[in-house]
Chain A
Amino acid sequence: MSKETQDRPNASAVPSSASAPPSGEKADAEAKAVADEKPAADEKPAADEKPAADEKPADGKPAAATPAQEKSAEEAKPAAAAKPAPSAGTKPAAAAAARPAPAKKAPPPPDPRVEAAKAVAEQIRDVIAASLGQEAVEEVGAAHHTPMVRVRRESWVETVDLLKRHDDWKLNYLELMAGTDYPNYIEVVVYIQSTALGHFVCLKTRTPRENAEIPSLVSVHPGVNWEEREIYDLLGVTFTGHPDLRRIMMWDGFEGHPLRKDYNVWAAKEDTDGTD
């Protein structure tokens, strides 16, 4: 276990492995295991800033946000690099004891790409709120580097349709639809691309696990027909208004929804025993 935690920071430090940060990061990791995505974020901005900008050419925000973030990241780095010269990789415990405060302070520099994504998500929130009301949007954030907006399921179809037709967004090319079973709800997510404007956005909605039901998107994006059937089949979400909601992967007589976390393979086997 301890070995793994030691391995990890090294891996995230690959980009600039020659510099000193490892020990600082090690302290970091020991202080808080969750924080270990931050060191990676530190080293990103310079190298990978371009793709993020490419993805959203239409709005000025990301470009504006980046330099500021970059500077703060750069300020943080020399501070970390200056200190832990002598016992670089050998004694992480000492390093951790020596400067627990800076290690705690280091995490804040957020990834500029995440910040840019959040800014875009907020713009989308405003667009949705303007025509469907404030209460339509439940959460705004970023799914990794992609803007993410979660809407309530009553507004699901209207939202997707609105963003498809909206002149500033034109999200016309739905690339991915996926469902995930969480302990208290099932979440359906779509990743939609605007082929004209270059936006790439993640939209979500949730349904309770019992009587899971979400309005179907087939009327807006006919291409989700089979994806919705698959989610119905494997996760047990009923898509209301779907033209042809049947099982697609499993056979018609199959019981249960295999991708649900509480699906028990062995229980199902005993029930159908040999009938397959």
Chain B
Amino acid sequence: MNYSIAIYGGPYSDQSAHSALHFARAVLKREHSIQRVFFYHDGVYNSSALVSPPQDEANVPAQWQELAKEHDIELVVCIAAAVRRGLLDEKEAKRYSKATHNLADGFTLSGLGQLIDAGMTCDRLITFGA
């Protein structure tokens, strides 16, 4: 089956990004595919390239990057939720005349339509709420 996952919680505020990671690994272990992970609301904080947890703690954003690279998963970040929280890619940084950008490699800013599309085209869409 083809799965997509939506995450509404930040990496260190609640358990949702953690739960979603465990779930994603179990999905892949059962030989399903994951098309897209959509980051919405505070979930957009999972896409910051500047996340720097203590060394003995899990780096949740880095784990998403690794998993996505290994299994060809799209990591899509809601552009409206991201920009208002200060998560910008190079293009948005230029648009808003900001000195720098901080969207981590492997993540893409896009619209809410990508979440609707995942719900319509994938066999399952699982939401991990904050």
A and B interact: no
A: which residues have CB within 8 A of B? none
B positions within 8 Å CB-CB of A: none
